[in-house]
Structure formats: C-alpha cells, structure tokens
Structure 1
C-alpha cells in the first residue's frame, strides 16, 4: 500500500497578490526576527515565520541576510 503524501506550502496572503513572492519572502524573514527580538528565542509561534520564509526564499538569500545581520550591515529594520 502506498502512503498518502501531504504537501504544504505558505497560504495565500492578500498583502502579496502577485505571482512574484519576493516581498512576501522578505516580510516573513523580517517578521521572524522581529518576533524573536520581542518574544525571545524560545517562543514557538515565531517558528511559523521561519517556516514561511524558508519555503518562499531561495536559501542563498536568507543565508546572505543572516551574514549581513551578523556583520551589522543588514538594511532591514528588525
């Protein structure tokens, strides 16, 4: 017997109605780090934003943003 495989992706967000989801990706990245800053590292609901940006963004983008944050040169407001 074959198992049913469930695929899950980020739900529709009316703030980003276009096919290009770059802004959605970036906003979820910012929201994740803002959530952690306000609520702390262990606050579980923040993980949803992390999952969302990891689904939407190419890995190289958020790796680059992480490096920029570490170096204090990230352009976004967190």
Structure 2
C-alpha cells in the first residue's frame, strides 16, 4: 500500500491544492513555489547536501507558472535583478 502511494506521489504531474492559496488566481502560488525551490536549492547546496528534496517545488511551479514567466525570472536571477529574496 505504501509503495502504491509513493508511486502516485512520484508520478504526480499537477500541483495539489494548497490551503495558503485558496483562490482561483494561482499567480502568488506560482511565484512562492519558484522562490521556495531556489531557496531550498541554495540552502542545501551551501551545506553540501543533495538537492533532490527541492524537486517538489520545481514540479509545482512548472505546472502552475507560464513558461515565459519562468524564463524571465531565470534571466533575472542570473543577472542579479530578480525582485524576490532568494
């Protein structure tokens, strides 16, 4: 039973309901998961640990966010002009 549940979570392709963002507009949810992914990756990389636990946030933001937003944000992160605090 646990294997079946674990397999379902691993293969889950869309973002689940998040009680922090109950409204239909998921813009904030998209942005928050993008930030959480980068914060998680940065924190675990600084400790020399595996960043695979951060993959959850990446899957969620990739399912919620338009590709053009992610590309723009990635460019801003590289340039150092991203408005969020990572």
Both structures adopt the same fold (TM-score exceeding 0.5) = yes
- How many positions carry a matched residue from both structures? 73
TM-score (norm 1): 0.87
- The corresponding residue for 1:25 is 30
User: Which of 68, 78, 85 does residue 70 from structure 1 map onto?
Assistant: 78
- The corresponding residue for 2:42 is 37
Segments of structure 2 that go 5 or more residues without pairing to the other structure are 1-10
Give the distance between the partners of 1:7 and 1:38, measured in 2 at CA: 25
Segments of structure 1 that go 5 or more residues without pairing to the other structure are 1-5
TM-score (norm 2): 0.79
Give the distance between the partners of 1:28 and 1:12, measured in 2 at CA: 13
